[in-house]
Structure 1
Amino acid sequence: MAKKTQKRMPRRREEFTYRGYSVADLQQMALSELLPLMPARARRKFDRGLSREHEKLLADLRSGDENIRTHLRDMIIMPEMVGRSIEIHNGKEFQKVEIQPEAVFHYLGEFALTRRRVAHGSAGIGATRSSKYVPLK
């Protein structure tokens, strides 16, 4: 009995939409049109106004600079940032992050982790009951 070999069609990745709007639509909107679409915390941040540092980061992004490094982990990702590479400081070094459409209205700091994954090794001599009576020599 011969098996039928079906050629699998590649999965079509649907275009990302945020609350019914594509990324291209979001990029064309003014800030006043984006505010009702944002989560409450992001909306509050923009209502209260951005700091000079946040404004400078947005200006650098709009100017088209290639290498953008920032310590501003609390900056909210705007639709105009999608597709750009930003280096975000994690407390020790800068991590290069490619901004994806799914990251819109999240914080930059969510994508540059500050803690490393812990890989525990084996227990040392005398650390467990069974190794208590192991001679040291």
Structure 2
Amino acid sequence: MSSDYRTGREGKEFAYRGHSLDELQEMDVDEVAELLPARQRRSIVRGLGTEQQKLLEKVRSRDKETTADNPIRTHLRDMPILPEFVGVTFSVYNGHSFERVQVEPEMIGHFLGEFHLTRSTVEHGQAGIGATRSSKFVPLK
């Protein structure tokens, strides 16, 4: 499975803090937590919540073929991405809709919510009728 995932450079295998993807996937969650950045490590060491445990069980019991067509839907934007999530498609809720996230090896150590923003950019247009005091003197046609 790890041979499919390569970085942008030709022939360069993926490694996270000196460990290959196969080694990371064989590790226990506590062993992986030691390699993660401080914030993600803290959330795992303090214990995953019940909803996060359910998501972890869904990932472990998923069917490989149905994952691309039927992504795992979740509201857990604060779930750290673990090596066993690689190759899984999630639909992460951004407050308005569910957005697809295909987990790749480079995402290990980040949170699920980092890959889809909750706020959209504001694009200002022209002022409408009634927007300013002077617009009441503008003829409609």
**TM-score by structure 1 length?**
0.78
**TM-score by structure 2 length?**
0.76
CA RMSD of aligned residues (A): 2.5
Moved more, 68-77 or 14-23: 14-23
In the alignment, which residue of structure 2 is the partner of 1:59? 57
Report the CA distance between 1:76 and its aligned residue. 0.5
User: Equivalent of 1:78, from 82, 86, 90?
Assistant: 82
SS across alignment from 2:34? helix
Report the CA distance between 1:23 and its aligned residue. 1.6
Matched-pair identity in %: 52
Report the CA distance between 1:20 and its aligned residue. 1.3
Partner deviation per Cα, 1:78-121 (whole Å, 9 max, x = no partner): 00001110000000110011011111011111112111122222
Moved more, 115-124 or 31-40: 115-124
In the alignment, which residue of structure 2 is the partner of 1:136? 138
List gaps (5 residues or longer) in structure 2.
1-8
List gaps (5 residues or longer) in structure 1.
1-10
Cα distance between partner residues in 1 of 2:96 and 2:11: 36
List aligned pairs for 1:82-121, cutoff 5 A: 82-121=86-125
SS across alignment from 1:37? coil
SS across alignment from 2:55? helix
Amino acid at match of 2:39: R
| Higher alpha-carbon Rg | 1
Cα distance between partner residues in 1 of 2:125 and 2:11: 40
SS across alignment from 1:75? coil
Amino acid at match of 2:138: L
